[in-house]
Homo-oligomer: A and B are copies of this chain.
Amino acid sequence: MAELRAQVCAGNQQLFEAGLVVWTGGNLSARDPETGLVAIKPSGMQYGQMRAEDMVVLDLDGNIVDGVRGPSSDTASHLRIYRLRPELRSIVHTHSNYASAFAAAGMAIPCCLTAIADEFGGPVPCGDYAPIGGTAIGDEVVRQLGRSPAILMKQHGVFTVGATIEKAIKAAVMVEDVAKTVSIAMGIGRVESLPAEEIAANFERYQQRYGTGSASVGVRS
């Protein structure tokens, strides 16, 4: 449990260092595969001040198992996703600017770049608006989850998921990166989707690398 907390704390700080979150916004959680418990960022704490012991540990019903602080106000959304998708081990939520701009406009990010096909396997979907605090956001994220590890939530922000903390962070970094490129492209010209066969070819190449068992599988260099 101490190790999970340390990893979750380090993961949250990585979001801040990558410029994906400001002030106390955003959060990362991870699930321990053995106990099923989830560690998540505490509520209202700035990233620079967080230490591993500030992380809050909960069960899937939201009972605090360990921790002196209150959990993130997005905790219910995280727990709902973990409950519905047992294979997931980490979830990230951000309001990163470029990806959230697509969310603000209620638009998916079109699959107009090889980097989007590689990482997301198609457009990055935008889920319907859902209120914060209950199960609605988790339900909508899971409803949208297909190939893409990133889901935009309309008029809210970004959720990413992964089989590891690193993969969830990677999806958060990559969705902001491609959202920036695509939003600039839409300002200077027209973007169009890659053909379905090219999307499939890029995504399959990625999946094959993903299955090799190396620590860096599935990561295009």
Contacts and interface: CB of A to CB of B under 8 A. Distances in A.
Interface stretch (A42-50, A80-88, A141-149): A42-50
B132 A43 contact: no
A186 interface: yes
A217 B42 CA distance: 12
Contact of A221 (B42, B97, B103): B42
Measured as residues with beta carbon below 8 angstroms from the partner, the interface class of chain A is 35 or more
A52 interface: no
12 contacts: A23-B170, A25-B177, A44-B214, A70-B214, A73-B221, A101-B182, A101-B185, A102-B185, A114-B155, A129-B194, A155-B194, A183-B188
Contact of A188 (B97, B102, B205): B102
A58 to B, nearest CB: 14
Contacts of A103: 113
